Amino acid sequence: MIAACGTVAYSYNLRGYLMHSAAPLFDAHNHLQDEWLLPYRQTIFSDFARINIKACVVNGTSESDWADVAALARTHEMVIPSFGLHPWDVGNRTPEWQARFLDALQNTPNAFVGEIGLDRWMIDHARADDPRLHGLRRAPLNEQIEAFRWQLMVAAERNLPASIHCLEAFGPLLDVLSSTPLPRRGFLLHAYSGSIEMAAAFAKLGAYFSFNGAFLEPRKQSRRDVFAQIPGDRLLVETDAPAMCLTPALEIFKLPPTPEGHQINHPGNAVSAYDGLARLRRTTTDCLVTQVAENFRRLFGS
């Protein structure tokens, strides 16, 4: 991704909820290493302190960004590093990718596995000129499965939680998870978009499910219906920043678009995701925050 360059105005719109709470918040999945967030990184960490985000799992997606994730973890204690080969990047992997992946885990204390997974949407429905996939060879599903299974096995051998991406491939995902060793600590299905019936099957295998604030968009009712029913002890909250932007009315923190006009999601918008999920589940935000904190620590540790 191309970073937004130059000196630009930064604005935020703080709401009352959670801003004065002492309860810690956790972002279970983001990409803070992304170039789109680089111009705002110092301010983002200041905002984290203001809203009491205590930890975030920062996910690498390819060989090219694992070093950036490791560097963030070295300089910011609240960053939990995670390394993975994303299904979008499987087609451009180098012959050395497995050795580099193992080196990244070995050389980075407390590193986890992710973002890994399966993606049929990229193959079957993405436009040929989709700018997000520019320059990428779209690996067929069998290649994705091979890379995904190998990374899962590494996670299982080391008992490292894995953060999993899945779009339009939940059947193959269940097949792989049912036939591959899995980490005893469990794994995360980030921004889960499958059915509640499949969620039950995944939960039996050790899955957690992270709610994204983008699901609060009115047309995402089916996603909200699922998260209203997922067991409380399996819930986490995420932003996927800088991706998966919220509707403007729900953005607590606003960042300028890139020069190309792409909207950027600030990871501090986890606040809106917490609030929206609490309303969806008809509970108080304080109760949800406490439950999510327990779940986060169970999966990722303290």
CATH number of domain containing 50: 3.20.20.140
Q: Does residue 2 form part of some domain? A: no
Q: Does residue 5 form part of some domain? A: no
Q: Does residue 202 form part of some domain? A: yes
Q: In Å, how far are 26, 43, 54, 55, 248 from 13, measured between CA atoms?
A: 20, 14, 21, 22, 11
Q: Does residue 1 form part of some domain? A: no
Here the tokens at position 14 are 């703080």
pTM of the model: 0.93
Find the domain containing 295 and state its range.
11-300
Structural domain total, the chain: 1
Q: Does residue 140 form part of some domain? A: yes
Q: Is residue 280 a contact partner of residue 224, using CB atoms and an 8 Å limit?
A: yes
Question: Please, which residues have CB within 8 angstroms of residue 282's CB and are 6 or more apart in sequence?
Answer: none
Q: Does residue 4 form part of some domain? A: no
Residue with tokens 């980490």: 183
CA angle in degrees (0–180, nearest 5) for 178-193-52: 105
For 98-114, write each residue's pLDDT tens digit: 999 999 999 998 999 99
Confidence of residue 23 (pLDDT cuts 50, 70, 90): confident
Question: Over the Cα atoms of the chain, what is R_g?
Answer: 18
Q: Does residue 148 form part of some domain? A: yes
Q: Does residue 6 form part of some domain? A: no
Q: What's the burial of 284, exposed, middle or buried (CB within 10 Å: 0-12/13-18/19+)?
A: exposed
Q: Where are the alpha helices (DSSP H) in 139-195?
A: 141-158, 170-178
For 182-228, write each residue's pLDDT tens digit: 999 999 999 999 999 999 999 999 999 999 999 999 999 999 999 99
